[in-house]
Amino acid sequence: MTALPTQPLSPLDGRYQATVSPLGEYLSEAGLNRARVEVEVEWIITLTNHALFGTTPLSQDEKQQLRALYLTFGQDEIDWLAEREAVTRHDVKAVEYLVRDRLSALGLDRVAELTHFGCTSEDVNSLSYALTVKRAVNDAWLPAYRRVIQKLRELALEHADAPMLSRTHGQPATPTTMGKELAVFVWRLERVLKQIEGGEYLGKFSGATGTWSAHLAAAPQVAWPNLAREFVESLGLTFNPLTTQIESHDWQVELYDRVRHAGGILHNLATDVWTYISLGYFAQIPVAGATGSSTMPHKINPIRFENAEANLELSGALLASLAQTLVTSRLQRDLTDSTTQRNIGVAFGHSLLALDNLTRGLGEISLSRDVLLADLDQNWEVLGEAIQTVVRAEVTAGRSTIQDPYALLKELTRGRRVGAADLAEFVQGLEIGDEAKQRLLALTPATYSGLAEQLTRSKL
């Protein structure tokens, strides 16, 4: 057997590459290095703007040329860094050398020593991760998450009035509507959406052990914490003033826990819709040219929901691992976070893939209202709850002397199939007021869905 050409090992970089590529813009190694260059460049611009060490602010033209280094970052820079890192064996140092090299090419040697000035690698890494994760969440993950919510909202409103048998413990229970059950997911997903949208992206910029020691040794008169805050905030990040060598990663833990939580809700949605499809409640819309089973020609399999389920499990496990490892770093730093953070994109990639499959899956189902109604018609015994509750009210109001209405209905309905005629006869024979009796006689499983429709319409 001849060896294959070099292959991507991860399916995210193989068959699913097109779907997850928006994340690669930020959460790939090149995306990280581009952000590192951005931070190094902006720090030089900030230091010179403040005319530190006798420098003068760079001209607009010089700034523009310097910024082009990250704005047009591409394959040349990727290759340059790979070559240089093979020598330095230090990824951030290689970035520093790249910036110095380009400063020289631009005739800006006079500020070369301000590259990475006072910085430890984590100053640059912390801001770079905050920038790339923030951009990936805002530009790629959140839009996909909102698309699922939007599709779900449309379905919930469309089916707000579609009565459906509930199944608590998998057993027939008080009816609801399909729309209301989908609305519950919208409600849950939106709560977590707000938490994710409100999350902070923190950065530190305080040197080797968070004390600005080197900075003060070089320029004791400068209010370095203020300058660091100004710099971090100028990048659209939240300043963390008190850290060890590393930014403590608590914002990342919060974010990954929330995204994992959202994934858990979506997993619940995927398995519920899968179950509704299996019950025949949702029909799957045939896709032209597609095959369900390789051997059973009649089949359309719910593969979108199964793919989402599996990817949510993978992403949940990775997000949990990220949150668990990033929360700790021995003493003033250990380097486990470096290795761990290289997998942030993998965790988000599996999640994004799941979101894409859910959106597509939700767009390929149609509700079979007739199946829902037929199922309700097979389960008149669910009205037992309504009858016993009405009798209790009648007893309390003095219009009935029935003893233990619950036991009476239990006797009639528990574990039994009770039809419309049986129930009507039973209700006719009840010693309750006439108005209550007529109300009960008018009730069917399909109309016994309480405020399900109104709740759906008013809460979405």
Tell me whether residue 261 is one of the annotated catalytic residues: no
Helical ranges in 363-404 per DSSP H: 369-377, 384-396
From the candidates 104, 234, 293, 366, which is the catalytic residue?
293
Q: Return the number of the residue (121 or 311) whose C-beta is nearest ligand 2SA.
A: 121
Calpha distance 189→194 (Å, rounded): 9
Calpha distance 233→380 (Å, rounded): 63
Q: Is 206 an interacting residue with respect to ligand 2SA (CB under 6 A)? A: no
Number of residues that bind ligand 2SA (CB under 6 A): 13
Q: Is 287 an interacting residue with respect to ligand 2SA (CB under 6 A)? A: no
Interacting span for ligand 2SA (CB under 6 A) from 73-81, 90-98, 226-234, 430-438 = 90-98
Calpha distance 100→84 (Å, rounded): 13
Q: Which long-range contacts (CB under 8 A, 24 or more apart) does 387-395 make?
A: 387/423, 387/426, 387/427, 387/430, 387/440, 390/432, 390/436, 390/439, 390/440, 391/430, 391/432, 393/436, 394/432, 394/433, 394/436
Residue 31 makes CB contacts below 8 A (sequence gap 6+) with 24, 25, 132
Q: Which one among 77, 91, 364, 375 touches ligand 2SA, defined by CB under 6 A? A: 91
Q: Which one among 68, 218, 287, 335 touches ligand 2SA, defined by CB under 6 A? A: 335
From the candidates 169, 294, 298, 458, which is the catalytic residue?
169
Tell me whether residue 169 is one of the annotated catalytic residues: yes
In angstroms, give the least distance from the CB of 245 to ligand 2SA. Answer: 6
Q: Is 28 an interacting residue with respect to ligand 2SA (CB under 6 A)? A: no
**How far is Cα of residue 269 from the mean position of the Cα atoms in its chain?**
13
Q: Is 89 an interacting residue with respect to ligand 2SA (CB under 6 A)? A: yes
Q: Which one among 245, 284, 307, 311 touches ligand 2SA, defined by CB under 6 A? A: 245
Q: Is 169 an interacting residue with respect to ligand 2SA (CB under 6 A)? A: no
How many CA within 13 A on the CB side of residue 105?
Answer: 10
Helical ranges in 162-291 per DSSP H: 178-197, 213-218, 224-234, 250-279
Contact 300, 292 (CB under 8 A): yes
Q: Return the number of the residue (156 or 322) whose C-beta is nearest ligand 2SA.
A: 322
In angstroms, give the least distance from the CB of 8 to ligand 2SA. Answer: 18
Active site residues: 169, 293
Contact positions vs ligand 2SA (CB under 6 A): 89-92, 120-122, 245, 333, 335, 338-339, 342
